[in-house]
Amino acid sequence: MSDKNKVWFITGSSTGFGRELAKQALERGYKVVATARNSDSLKDLVAEYPDTARAVRLDVTNEEDVKTSVAKAVEEFGSIDILVNNAGYGLGGGIEEPSMEQIEKQYDTNIFGVIRMMREVLPIMRTNKSGHVMNISSVVGFTAFGSIGYYASTKFAMEALSEALSKEMEHLGIKVTIVEPGGFRTDFAGRSFTQPENRIEDYVTSERIDAMGEYHNNQPGDPVKGAKAMIDMIETENPPLRLPLGEDAVTAIEEKLNSVRENIDQWREIAVNTKVEEADGAVS
């Protein structure tokens, strides 16, 4: 199969990275199944690329939606070669501030939605002995910031699953990449960011959460360039497991790595001095 005959399946395609990835993949000649909870928002893409674009309704929290949308993609184009798990949103607040309902919804979309998609698409890729799963994480999937702990925790979970999956699928020719963007001018700090139901003064999170509104559309990252970087990466022979995007993301991840190394070095003696003592060659 020619690379340009490959089929992309992208969740959360109405705006942001999902929309830009769909647009650029179509421009490069790929086939694209673009999905959104309101598929009408994608009609213009289908109108511009009637032979290679399909718009499908998908709510990743709905098991039947997931099954139906994947079946439609296979019916239309015969397979799915590149799965992009992009659908998701942010939840602000300290650990005590969001309601349990808000926390459960965050996990249902950001992590269980990804799990549903992978479990539905991976059998196709295993049959084909090829494919690429690209999971859109975040810089906070590698280094958590205060006031968005639940959002960060869903991205940490996504990264763990992705890392495990990469090792499970390597021998089958299926690749996995975790994309870790910093601040990009998508809807994350606007429409896609949820405020906590409660505010607790001790957490000092209100100022940080309120600043998200000012950050919206003032982020340093260009989603057009970000999407191009992702597609360029997909087209390489040896794509990476992790792709940080943006100087802010690279800097924050490097600082986290340095911090972990310093922590290990400081506590190395205590950490390693925990083995079972042996007496006369026998374990006591």
Which pLDDT belongs to residue 171?
97
Q: Which residue ranges of the chain lie beneath pLDDT 70?
A: 1-2, 187-192, 206-218, 220, 279-284
Q: Going by DSSP bridges, is the β-strand pair 7-10/31-36 parallel, antiparallel, or unpaired?
A: parallel
Question: Of the residues 14, 39, 137, 147, which is catalytic?
Answer: 137
Angle (nearest 5°) at CA 89 between 159 and 180 = 35
Q: Report the C-alpha gap between 3 and 81 in whole angstroms.
A: 10
Burial group, residue 116, by CB count within 10 angstroms (0-12, 13-18, 19+): buried
Concerning whether 137 is annotated as a catalytic residue, the answer is: yes
How far is residue 171's CA from residue 175's CA, in Å, rounded to a whole number? 10
> What type of residue is 120?
E
| Distance between CA atoms of residues 202 and 204, nearest Å | 6
67 noted as active-site residue: no
Mean pLDDT of the chain: 91
CATH architecture of the domain 3-251 equals: 3-Layer(aba) Sandwich (3.40)
Residue extents of the structural domains in the chain: 3-251
The pLDDT of residue 214: 62
Of the residues 155, 162, 175, 203, only one is catalytic, namely: 155
Nearest CA to 34 out of 105, 86, 89, 107 is that of: 86
pLDDT for the residue 278: 79
Among 49, 150, 151, 203, the active-site one is 151
Check residue 228 and give its pLDDT. Answer: 96
pTM summary value: 0.91
Taking only the tens place, the pLDDT of each residue in 105-137 is 999 999 999 999 999 999 999 999 999 999 999
Q: In the annotation, is 275 catalytic?
A: no
Q: How far is the C-alpha of 147 from the C-alpha of 91, rounded, in Å? A: 9
| Residue 83: predicted pLDDT | 98
Distance between CA atoms of 23 and 49, rounded to whole angstroms? 10
